Amino acid sequence: MSQEHKKFKLFTKDFSSQESLKQLLKEIEKWVADEKVAPKSIGVEYLEKSKHIVMSIGYQDDNGYKVQLSSELVSKIDLNADYSQIEKSMAEAASKHENIICHELFITDSGDFHMVFMVKVAG
């Protein structure tokens, strides 16, 4: 499975709640399935001022497959702290998933550290 790609699709949604993030992830999963693309990467940006999430999917448009996206609140972050505990929490979050293609992270203005996972699913 080659990770190279040159095509991208953008998605955005307000980040008023975890539910709105889940809706965005489901919207992306549906687009992947409907368009029969092969996702290779994700990008995530949290826009503090407008409280929006912007996600990009890097993909190939051949040999499509289904993916599942999920987000986990890993911890609060202190940029002056030792990151070893956060790294441990990241590993624990990742251990809940199989067939991870890629991950991305974002940090809210209140310091919530989130990870977004994209995993390949059968079918």
Domain ranges of the chain: 7-121
pTM of the model: 0.89
Instruction: Give the residue carrying structure tokens 């624990």.
Output: 92
CA gap 39, 62 in Å, rounded: 10
- Asked if the model's pLDDT at residue 31 lies above 70, the reply is yes
Region of 8 on the Ramachandran plot (φ > 0 left; ψ -120 to 50 alpha; else beta): beta
With vertex at residue 77, the alpha carbon angle to CA 74 and CA 80, rounded to the nearest 5 degrees, is 150
Mean residue pLDDT across the chain: 91
Q: Does 118 or 79 have the greater pLDDT score?
A: 118
Q: In DSSP terms, which residues pair with 68 in a beta bridge?
A: 119
Query: Where is average pLDDT lowest: 2-6, 74-78, 91-95?
Result: 2-6
- Asked if the model's pLDDT at residue 85 lies above 90, the reply is no
Residues 6+ apart with CB under 8 A from 51: 14, 15, 16
Q: What is the pLDDT of residues 52-67, one digit of tens each?
A: 999 999 999 888 999 9
pLDDT of residue 2: 74
pLDDT of residue 1: 59
